[in-house]
Every structure is written in structure tokens, then in C-alpha cells.
Amino acid sequence: MTDPFTMTHEALLDVLFKHDLLAAEIRSGNRVSFLNKRHAFKEEVQAGDLPELRLVPTGGTPHIFRTSNSSSCVRRWEIQVSTGDQRVNVKLLPIEWYVFEAMHGWEAVLAELTWCGKKFVKRCMPLTIQSGISNADLSRNVIGWATVWGCEIEMFFSSSDL
């Protein structure tokens, strides 16, 4: 059985790429999920490798026995995008808008996830958006805008299932 954290990661990718305009903007080969490849992203990129989107798990806060019969965990992810373009109106701002629109549909995908026969995702909340032109890790020497979206997802589990 797949664990709830992995299921949530996969579903968050589904939320993002069910949005047609975001899916069209980020080609499938430039979507980095860290799920199935040991070395998921290219160390060096060319302009044609961008824009690139990465979904990165960044930690969380567990709440063991949050109530008398349940535990919860707030997991955090970052949606990281490197545009490869310095014009904010060509890649950066449209992609940020597409992510905003895509996240609006979280309930249709994430809220339907089940573990031990029970739905467990109760909340999905985009956090801060950080944008900048200088992020060596994301851009890898191709100058352009980068944006990082924080996101947290709250999950509840019955203590008897744990």
C-alpha cells in the first residue's frame, strides 16, 4: 500500500498539471517530481530545458494524538519554477497565475485521497510566493526568473489506523 505522503505528492502534481495552460507551459520532460528517478533533474540546462517545474517536499509538523482518536500532520512542499526568461510578462507572471488557478482545484483531487478507506486531506493552503532573478540552484546558469511557491497540506488519520 502506498503511504499517504507519497499519495499526496502524486496528487499535488495532478492538481498542477490538470490545469491545461500550466501543462502546456511546462513540457512533460521539464516536470521534476522526485518520485521515480534517482537523479531527477539535470545538473546543467539549456534554454530549451526551461521553464522547469519541481515539486519538492520540504518537511512538516506531526501532531501525534491531536485529539483523543486522531493524529494529524501538516506537510509542506515547494513548487519551484525556473523560467529561463528575464521578461516577467512572458513566463514568470503567467506561470505564477497558472499555479494560482491550478491550486484552486485542490479539493477535486486531494480531498478524495483515501488511506485505510478514509479520506485524509482536510486542507491545502498555498503559502508565500518568492520570485527573483538570481537562484543558482534553479536556473543553473541560464539567466531568468525563478519563483518558489510554498504549500502546506493538512492530513488527519484515525489513531486506530496508525
Which residues lie closer than 8 Å to 154 by C-beta, 6 or more apart? 72, 73, 74, 121, 122, 123, 124, 125
Instruction: Name the residue ranges covered by the structural domains of the chain.
Output: 4-161
Residue 11 corresponds to which cell in the numbers above? 496528487
CATH architecture of 4-161: 2-Layer Sandwich (3.30)
Sign of CA dihedral 30, 73, 11, 5: positive
The answer to whether residue 39 scores a pLDDT higher than 80 is: no
Which residues lie closer than 8 Å to 124 by C-beta, 6 or more apart? 103, 106, 107, 110, 151, 152, 153, 154
End-to-end, the C-alpha distance of the chain in Å comes to 14
What mean pLDDT comes out for the span 133-152? 78
Tens of pLDDT along 46-98?
A: 777 899 999 999 999 999 989 899 999 999 999 999 998 989 999 999 999 99
